[in-house]
Chain A
Amino acid sequence: MKMKIVASVTALAAAAGAIALAAPAFAHHSTAMFEWGKEQKITGTVKEFQWTNPHTWTVFNVPDGKGGVEEWGLEGMSPNYLGRNGWTKASLKPGDKVDMVIYPLRDGRKGGFTVAVTFPDGRTIRELPSSPGK
């Protein structure tokens, strides 16, 4: 098992709508570990936003309903891609209270891939395009 030349997450963003993709995956890795395309919304507070290759990473605290928090780990597009599409290392800051749309991990752990972020004032920044029909 070596390189896999299929499609990439970056391509999903580029190929929104008009282009039907044959095999969604990453350049860096495939999407096999995610429930790719199944949107899940989680609400919480940004603990950390790591502006790093090969992927950005958000540590995200979600209230557990019992007075505590559950820590989620959310992969995102690369800073190279996001930086060319309007994001900066300060797009998410510790303490930001936001809604996250993610594609969750298949294994049920608290993690996933970041699709879009909505701030309290309604502003939304996307990493990936909306699902078809939305």
Chain B
Amino acid sequence: MKAFTRHIAMAAAAAALCLPLAAAAAPSGPQGRTWAEIAKLPDWGGVWDADWSKLFGPGGRTQPDLTPAYAAKFQAWKDAQKEGENLQSTSANCLPPGMPGIMQQPYPIEFLFTPGKVTIAIEAYNQMRRVFTDGRPHPADPDPLWYGHSIGHWENGDLVIDTVGFDTATEITGGVGHSDKMHTVERVHLLDPNRMEITTTITDPEALAKPYVVKMQYVRHRDWDIKEYICEQNNRDHSDAEGRPSMKLN
């Protein structure tokens, strides 16, 4: 717990100083840059199913502290719900949520280690994230992407993922957007051999008054496989441009 607190404090401090967070943390132990090094990484085999109580239970979710400008936008979004708008999301139209929402789905995920890269396979919406662990930096001027540009390193068996370069189409939470300066740091840590915690610290100088920390937990299932999820296979749900829901019956 102390380690998390320290990590969050570091994230906050680094954000305040506009330092890249990756520079604030020190790689330690094997980094998985070769097959031989991968053999020394922790065993994250099997698939990891989201603990729904962390997603949906009491105390599982908190609201971010917003800057006045983004708080006003959020209030307007909520006000429009009373008029029947913003009750459905574009994920109902099969658009995946992007970051950070894709890491908060009630479906399992899987970690694939290859030299210099960790790939996260996400069952929901059949998505993939690629985390480069070969020591490369972020691009100086990253393109806007739904999953951003992710670099990672290992700290004594925890994977720390630093991501920048987000498309502003995604949301931090429902009705809470972000700027192109959003920055996430995820610490992937095993609480015990079969329970994983991912602590995500989100900063954005335009949207967030202070770092927003989200904790998810996953339970290992060694005998499960990631299943396909073709959202367009038989999708009858729809959100219109104002977020009004509908369902096609036939």
Contact = CB atoms under 8 A, between A and B. Distances in A.
Interface string B56-75: 11100100000000000000
Given A3-B97, A80-B107, A111-B249, A75 B236 contact: yes
B231 interface: yes
A27 interface: yes
Contact of A10 (B52, B57, B95, B97): B52
A12 B53 CA distance: 10
Given A3-B97, A3-B98, A55-B234, A78 B229 contact: yes
Contact of B227 (A8, A20, A29, A83): A83
Contacts of A19: 53, 56-58
Interface string B215-250: 000000000100111110111110101110111011
B170 A20 contact: no
A71 interface: yes
Interface in A47-89: 50, 52-55, 57, 59, 71, 73, 75, 78-81, 83-84
Interface string A1-20: 11111111011101100011
Interface residues of A, number: 43
Contact of B58 (A22, A27, A33, A57): A22
B87 interface: yes
A53 B236 contact: no
Contacts of A11: 52, 55-56, 106
B52 A73 contact: no
Interface in B66-96: 77, 85-92, 94-95
A80 B245 contact: no
A81 B227 CA distance: 10
B9 interface: no
B61 A22 contact: yes
A40 B196 CA distance: 39
A21 B29 CA distance: 41
Most buried by B among A30, A80, A111: A30
A81 B108 CA distance: 10
Given A1-B88, A3-B101, A32 B245 contact: yes
Given A19-B53, A19-B57, A27-B107, A3 B234 contact: no
A15 B57 contact: yes
B46 interface: no
B87 A32 contact: yes
B75 to A, nearest CB: 15
Given A4-B89, A7-B56, A32-B87, A80 B123 contact: yes
A1 B229 contact: no
B236 A3 contact: no
A82 B105 CA distance: 16
B247 A33 contact: yes
B58 A3 contact: no
Interface of B: 52-53, 55-58, 61, 77, 85-92, 94-95, 97-98, 101, 104-107, 123-124, 169-171, 173-175, 177, 224, 227-231, 233-237, 239, 241-243, 245-247, 249-250
19 contacts: A1-B77, A2-B90, A3-B91, A4-B91, A10-B107, A11-B56, A14-B56, A19-B53, A27-B106, A29-B245, A30-B89, A30-B245, A33-B88, A33-B245, A33-B246, A53-B228, A55-B234, A83-B227, A84-B224
